[in-house]
Amino acid sequence: MKTLLQSKSITEYAVINFNKLKVINPRLLPERIDIKSALVILIPYRHEDIKATDGLNAGLFARCKDYHGYFNALAKDLIPYLEETSGGRVFGFADHSPIHEKDAALKCGLGFIGKNGLIINKRYGSYVFIGEFLFEKQLPELLHKTEPGCLACNACINACPTQAIDKGGVKINECLSCISQKNNKTTEELTLLAENRTLWGCDICQQVCPHNNGASYSLLPYFAEDIITEFTEDLLCSMNEENYKKYAFSYRKRKVIIQNFLTAKGKYDIMT
């Protein structure tokens, strides 16, 4: 498995007994198959420091290609091999998953949870997505240590423009990233997006985290392709469907990100 994952440039992975994991979406589990083990992987997506020129607050995940596309292709490649070597069925998930992924990555020792609520990996920092393969057959566990842990420096708390982070974690109703991805927004929410020039997602609490200083970049070529350094209204309106679907924001209708864009640029009448 190590060689296979390394051939795909996946360096952060672990194997854990399935019964240690939190099942949050049982209807996504395969029917009539008793899952015994999980291979949990981290997918690093920060390819390099992006020099955005549009002055907009947007998460890197919105500027690079959607990781669901990456994971689907990876699963298609890996599952036949994993089934053959394990001798049972294997099922791949990322994001839309039967298990609590952050909890799984934490229990595997693939990272720790920062005050900004994100999983933070020793090698790649917090610019990672989580994916997992569930196995019918029992695999030997391969777990890691979670050190060093959050430094509790509070840089993320102090930098958050909406004071969305406190001792209890991230208040999703006040987080620009969560607000930007809502279909329908209140006047107050649109005002927050306008004040903070926020288009889609927000990386501010990641940018200031010391664990991301000097963290390794992703070696996955997928995340270096078609990066958007300058969002414009024209780009968002004229992108054909195939291109639009390459990006994570395409899970909402186009009018949502266009409204965000106009709001962030001060061109949308928030009171309408």
Query: Which residues carry out catalysis?
Result: 95
User: Residue 33's closest CA among 15, 50, 18, 54?
Assistant: 18
The CA distance from 5 to 104, in Å, is: 19
Q: Which is nearer to ligand SF4, 128 or 175 (CB)?
A: 175
- Name the helix (H) or strand (E) containing 119: strand 119-120
| Contacts with ligand SF4, 121-160, as mask; x by CB under 6 A | -----------------------------xxxxxxx---x
Instruction: State in angstroms the smallest separation of the CB of 67 from ligand SF4.
Output: 17
Instruction: State in angstroms the smallest separation of the CB of 156 from ligand SF4.
Output: 3
Q: Which residue is nearest to ligand SF4 (CB)?
A: 114
Q: Does 106 bind ligand SF4 (CB under 6 A)?
A: no
Residue entry with tokens 């900004």: 116
| Contacts with ligand SF4, 189-208, as mask; x by CB under 6 A | -------------x-xx--x
Q: Which is nearer to ligand SF4, 130 or 202 (CB)?
A: 202
Q: Which is nearer to ligand SF4, 156 or 236 (CB)?
A: 156
What residue spans of the chain are helical by DSSP H?
A: 2-7, 60-63, 67-86, 101-108, 155-159, 176-180, 187-195, 204-207, 233-238, 241-244, 254-264
The angle subtended at Cα 50 by Cα 67 and Cα 185, nearest 5°, is: 65
- Which amino acid makes up residue 156? C
Cβ–Cβ under 8 Å, residues 159 and 48: no
Q: Does 58 bind ligand SF4 (CB under 6 A)?
A: no
Binding test (CB under 6 A) with ligand SF4, winner from 46, 47, 65, 211: 211
Q: Which is nearer to ligand SF4, 106 or 150 (CB)?
A: 150
Q: Find the helix packing angle between 187-195 and 254-264, rounded to 10°.
A: 60
Query: Which residues of the chain form contacts with ligand SF4 (CB under 6 A)?
Result: 114-116, 150-156, 160, 162, 164-165, 170, 175-177, 202, 204-205, 208-211
